[in-house]
């Protein structure tokens, strides 16, 4: 796996970790999400990063196994270009239902499992397995 791919995978992992960290000091409720515009924008920005990183992964290696990649990239495009059609309910559903599945480590023998020693030494990256992000 190339260092470039590892960097994009790390970007996905970091964006997921950022979203998770936003709920460490307050309850993870829809009401908190809906009333806090700063929180909503931060979550949307990280979803954009996830979509862009996945898009770059597929440009680098079109066979890279990412479940629902087109939907994730489509969400990124909708947030950026269709910002006025994004609903709080849709984003909340994504971060509570789908994001936890994306964040889980996987090992399906695809040949794309990420091991700690594959991570570029210049970065203090800690990544999970990348298959089916």
Whether 57 contacts 4, CB under 8 Å = no
At residue 117, the pLDDT reads 38
At residue 98, the pLDDT reads 84
- The structure tokens listed for 47 are 């979803």
At residue 83, the pLDDT reads 84
Give tens-digit pLDDT for 85-111.
889 999 999 999 888 766 555 433 334
| CB atoms closer than 10 angstroms to residue 11 | 19
Q: Where are the domains positioned within the chain?
A: 3-118
Give tens-digit pLDDT for 33-81.
999 999 999 999 999 999 999 999 999 999 999 989 999 999 999 999 9
Alpha carbons 32 and 119: distance in angstroms, whole number: 36
Mean pLDDT of 3-30: 93
């Amino acid at each position: 796996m190339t260092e470039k791919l590892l960097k994009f995978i790390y970007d996905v992992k970091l964006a997921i970790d950022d979203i998770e960290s936003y709920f460490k000091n307050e309850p993870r409720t829809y009401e908190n999400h809906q009333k806090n515009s700063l929180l909503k924008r931060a979550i949307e920005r990280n979803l954009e990063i996830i979509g862009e990183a996945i898009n770059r992964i597929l440009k680098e290696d079109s066979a890279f196994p990412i479940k629902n990649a087109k939907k994730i990239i489509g969400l990124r495009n909708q947030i950026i270009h269709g910002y006025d059609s994004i609903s709080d309910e849709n984003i909340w559903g994504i971060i509570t239902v789908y994001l936890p599945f994306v964040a889980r480590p996987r090992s399906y023998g695809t040949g794309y499992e990420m091991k700690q020693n594959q991570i570029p030494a210049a970065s203090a990256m800690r990544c999970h397995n990348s298959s089916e992000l």
